[in-house]
Chain A
Amino acid sequence: MAEVLVLVEHVDGAPKKVTLELLTLARSLGEPSAVFVGNGADNAKAKLAEYGAAKIYVAGDGDFESYLVAPKAEVLAQVVAATSPAAVLIPSTPEGKEVAARLAVKLDSGLITDAVGVDDGFVARQSIFGGAFNVSSTVSRGTPIITVRPNSTAPEPAPAAGAEEQVSVALSDAAKQAKVLDRVTEKKGGRPELTEAAIVVSGGRGLGDGSNFALIEKLADSLGAAVGASRAATDAGWYPHTNQVGQTGKTVSPQLYMAVGISGAIQHRAGMQTSKTIVAINKDPEAPIFELVDFGIVGDLFNVVPQLTEEIEKRHSS
């Protein structure tokens, strides 16, 4: 079977969920191999093998932590040159897309981003214009490079050999131009990342004040969810711009999306319309968000949200 490369996205070696999703997806298309760049491969190998990686290419010795994007593209280009894979799958995260971009130029190969699925023959399915159209695309030149959105495939274990192959890379000077001087964590830990989360709870204009995001956070925490915000809320300075869901913010596609006090303008819908299940709480029965929902409550969020949070906590503890 043809080899399909999957770029591992990891934190100090621990593979992110999207990596396991991509390995699962790659199994339906060929034989998955993982490409691991950076420190901590020993923490990753068991997991990558468990989810089907027949081979694991490891590029560990290099000052990868000090540079962004370009070194990963160089490693991938080298592995592609050595293995002639059928395709390369990369998580559709901001950095993943940039790695894919540079790889596409290096290989003069077609790039498809933001796939929500990949079918036989590497036909990528995308949802465009905020979910208004479903499109299938193919790469017509070179090695298909496809970035796949988190939450597109349910990860399923299927143990494979996970044979390690070391890749030694001499990074080019061009890849070392942009140097990372510092990495700053601003957000308190604990909540999942917005684009990776299975459940997202977002708040909007209806909250009326930034301090009321505490209600959203409490509801999110009861569900183990990430917190999002509409543009109205981030524009007002109620919540950090990094959490903005929408056309000019993040695109999310979780299993469950809860829109609280969000009317659902196109700007917002473009960032969440492909969520699997959508619920909304809004006091305006005419709010466009209700056109999208599986379940909606017309009511005052200040009554509904605390009651909902309490009910969820009660069910969890019983």
Chain B
Amino acid sequence: MNIVVCVKQVPDTWAEKKLSATDKTVDRESVDGVMNELDEYAVEEALRIAEANGGEVTVLTMGPEKSVETIRKALSMGADKAVHLVDDGLHGSDALATSYALAKALGTIEHDLVILGVESTDARMSVVPAMLAERLGAAQLTFARKVEVGSGTVKIERLTDTGYDVVEAPTPAVVSVVEKINEPRYPSFKGIMAAKKRPLTTLTLADAGIEADKVGLGGSATSVGDVAARPPKQAGQIVKDEGDGGTKLAEFLASQKFI
């Protein structure tokens, strides 16, 4: 079972995120980049499936030059090889354009499964896995909290608001995983050394057969207008509990018509 795991480099979860003043895209220069946290679970799940069933794990990333740090991390966790889709023409792609570019890049890699984190912590749309399934004509198995691979089929537990759905599909399939599906491994020293020798292929738009006018800011189907920092919240009322804190809070809630 050959698996492609899609990972994204995002601004560090703990950093203050900003939009670029010039083109209103996510400012990726002024902050440290890390592997999207939810993608760590995707890498781990891919490795576990390959370890149990055989097959290769390929890491696919779309992003600027410095995303190679995130590729290295996935390789040092144990992925076999990597593909980096990197081209200035991709800058500013929205979800629709991103899913188009990723689908094209996936076309260059033999695979039975595509695994992703359920969302990125920067854009937080959570739509690329479903878009990929639609574009690839592959089964959509998303929001997985458990993945079981059979022969030619994949079964997941899809997290819902009230519990979970058991969903099964034939391969090829696109799987997205939620936090806590597993415990991602830390790269070992051996893994870090081995990662340096693993094959890394770089793809440009032309290499992947991506039409330039369908990606980037120009090829996107959405555009960002006004951007404003949220006005600072007016300081609220802070009361020290003198034994009647619960009553005071109840009075506030009543004054706001919540009770």
Contact B245 A102 (CB under 8 A): no
Taken together as a complex, chains A and B put the C-alpha atoms of A104 and B163 apart, in Å, by 28
Q: Which of A19-27, A28-36, A152-160, A175-183 is near enough to bind chain B? A: A175-183
Known pairs A178-B139, A187-B162; A110 contacts B96 (CB<8 A) = yes
Q: In the complex, which residues of chain B have a beta carbon less than 8 angstroms from the beta carbon of A223?
A: 258-259
> What chain B residues lie within 8 Å of A133 (beta carbons)?
19, 227-230
Tally A residues with Cβ within 8 Å of B.
95
Q: Given the complex, which residues of A lie within 8 Å of B158, measured CB to CB?
A: 68
- Among the interface residues B16, B159, B246, B252, which one has the most CB atoms of the partner chain A within 10 A? B246
Residue of B nearest to A73 (CB): B134
Provide the bound-state CA to CA distance between A311 and B121, in Å.
39
Q: Is the beta-carbon distance between B241 and A299 smaller than 8 angstroms?
A: yes
Q: Report the minimal beta-carbon distance from A9 to chain B, rounded to whole angstroms.
A: 11
Q: Chain B residues with Cβ under 8 A from A316's Cβ?
A: 259
Q: A133-B229, A290-B238 are in contact. Are A304 and B246 (CB under 8 A)?
A: yes
Q: Mark B80-105, 1 if CB is under 8 A from A, else 0.
A: 00000000000000111001000000
Q: Inside 8 A of A113's CB, which chain B residues have their CB?
A: 125-127
Which residues of B (152-177) have their CB < 8 Å from a CB of A?
A: 155, 158-170, 173
Query: Given A181-B168, A299-B245, A312-B253, do A186 and B162 touch, yes or no (CB 8 Å)?
Result: yes
Contact residues, A78-125 vs B (CB, 8 A) = 93-94, 97-102, 104-106, 108-114, 123
B245: chain A residues within 8 A (beta carbon): 281, 297, 299, 303-304, 307-308
Task: Indicate whether B249 reaches chain A with its CB closer than 8 angstroms.
Answer: yes
Q: Closest Cβ of chain A: how far from B183's Cβ, in Å?
A: 11
A100 and B227 alpha carbons, distance in the complex (Å) = 24
Chain A residues with CB below 8 A from B198, complex form: none
- Chain B residues with Cβ under 8 A from A307's Cβ? 244-247
The smallest beta-carbon distance between B230 and chain A, in angstroms, is 6
Cα separation A316 to B163 with both chains bound (whole Å): 32
> Do A295 and B170 have beta carbons less than 8 Å apart?
no
A94 touches B143 (CB 8 A): yes
Question: Does A195 interact with chain B (Cβ within 8 Å)?
Answer: yes
A97 touches B164 (CB 8 A): no
**Are A297 and B248 touching (Cβ within 8 A)?**
yes
| A181-B166 contact given A137-B224, A223-B258, A285-B238, CB 8 Å threshold | yes
Taking a contact as CB atoms under 8 Å apart, the answer to whether B163 and A186 are in contact is yes
Q: Which residue of B lies closest to A141 (CB)?
A: B221
Measured between C-beta atoms, what is the minimum distance from A134 to chain B in Å?
Answer: 5
**How many angstroms from the CA of A133 to the CA of B236 in the assembled complex?**
20
A293, CB-defined interface residue at 8 Å: yes
The interface residues of chain A lying within 8 Å CB-to-CB of B155 are 181
Q: Least Cβ distance of B210 to chain A in Å? A: 15
Chain A positions 260 through 272: 1 when the CB is less than 8 Å from some CB of chain B, otherwise 0: 0000001100000
Q: Is B13 an interface residue (CB 8 A)?
A: yes
Residue of B nearest to A298 (CB): B240
Looking at the assembled complex, report how far the CB atom of B243 sits from the nearest CB atom of chain A, in whole angstroms.
8
Could you tell me which residues of chain B, from 226 to 240, have a CB within 8 Å of some CB in chain A?
A: 226-230, 233, 236-240
Q: Cβ of A69 and Cβ of B140 under 8 Å apart?
A: yes
A241 in complex: contacting residue of B160, B180, B220, B240, CB < 8 Å = B180
Nearest residue (CB) in B for A290 is: B238
Set A174, A281, A292, A300: member contacting B249, Cβ < 8 A: A281
Bound-state Cα–Cα, A311 to B93, Å: 53
**Interchain CB contact under 8 A, B164 and A184:** yes
- Give CA–CA (A184, B145) in the complex, Å: 13
Give the residue of B124, B163, B230 whose beta carbon is less than 8 angstroms from that of A183. B163
Contact, CB under 8 Å: B239 / A298 = yes
Q: Which residues of B contact A305 (CB under 8 A)?
A: 246
Q: For B127, what are the chain A residues with a Cβ–Cβ distance below 8 Å?
A: 97-98, 100-101, 104, 111, 113
Let me know if A293 and B180 touch, CB within 8 A: no
Q: Cβ of A210 < 8 Å from any Cβ of B? A: no
Q: Check A296–B236 contact: CB distance below 8 A.
A: yes
Q: Which residues of A contact B237 (CB under 8 A)?
A: 294-296
Q: B165 contacts A110, CB within 8 Å?
A: no
Within 8 A of A (CB), among B114-145: 121-122, 124-131, 133-135, 137-143
Q: A69-B140, A248-B121, A267-B14 are in contact. List 11 more A-B contacts (CB 8 A).
A: A69-B130, A94-B161, A132-B230, A135-B226, A140-B221, A181-B168, A183-B166, A184-B164, A184-B165, A266-B14, A297-B249
Q: List 18 contacting pairs A-B, 8 Å CB cutoff, sorted by A.
A: A70-B133, A94-B143, A98-B142, A101-B95, A105-B96, A105-B135, A106-B134, A111-B94, A133-B227, A135-B19, A138-B225, A140-B223, A177-B139, A177-B169, A241-B180, A291-B233, A296-B238, A305-B246
The 10 A-B pairs of least Cβ separation, nearest first, read A299-B241, A307-B246, A110-B221, A101-B127, A308-B246, A186-B163, A177-B139, A311-B250, A141-B221, A101-B130
